[in-house]
Structure 1
């Protein structure tokens, strides 16, 4: 399935970094915190596919190519009492993808592996590198399918630092 989309978000949240004084050794103290900016616009193209090579194995995946535009200013007071306004207008093109594999094992056990990747992107304060992520999950329905026991391992290789 292929779809085009447009999304407008007001009060979009973005993490920013602000230098807030220096420590005893003269090293700058940097604070990272979320702020609500004015508006974020996102438009792009998304492609989804599902494939069942066997009755016991399901695959699905998607790829998303998109343009992101952020608009907004942020005003804060520094350690010396000065009011500082920063502009966070930013335009970037990036992409993301996901591939999920679900295997039905004997005994009613399901094994799911999901690989996700978010491409590199520019921000108003720099660049974020690409972010790979691998998750594993095992689950089993119990009590005549009225409950499920699951074991999840998120970010297997600790790659989303």
Structure 2
């Protein structure tokens, strides 16, 4: 996959696992601008702020304390976002229309039947999203991967 088709962020390896994975702490923001200054040894800006800990594929053999670049496919992220945001909305709207139509048939007020239909289908939409999420999580292509070791470090760097 081309480098442009990937999303990248920097992080700190806090634990190397024996099965080819590592625990990495990263900023929640989209990217670290400080590491691009060429002062990698002094920067460490990726060690402050709001953090997220993730299990990533350690294809580069990074060790504890290393600052690494973690990458993931943009297309796969967008696919997950689309499933998470669009499916419930589509189910809500479809359920409201179906519920409104059934209101005439069941001799219930159309507004009430639309609300009930929308709510029931929204719950079903969230169930579908959950199943899609489980399938996507089992897909190894969706696991973030260490693509570069930016700086080797010691394992005694404090993580806030």
* TM-score above 0.5, yes or no: no
So what's the TM-score if we normalise by structure 2? 0.27
Structure richer in strand, relative to its length? 1
Q: Which has the higher contact order (CA 8 A, sep 6+)?
A: 2
Structure richer in helix, relative to its length? 2
So what's the TM-score if we normalise by structure 1? 0.27
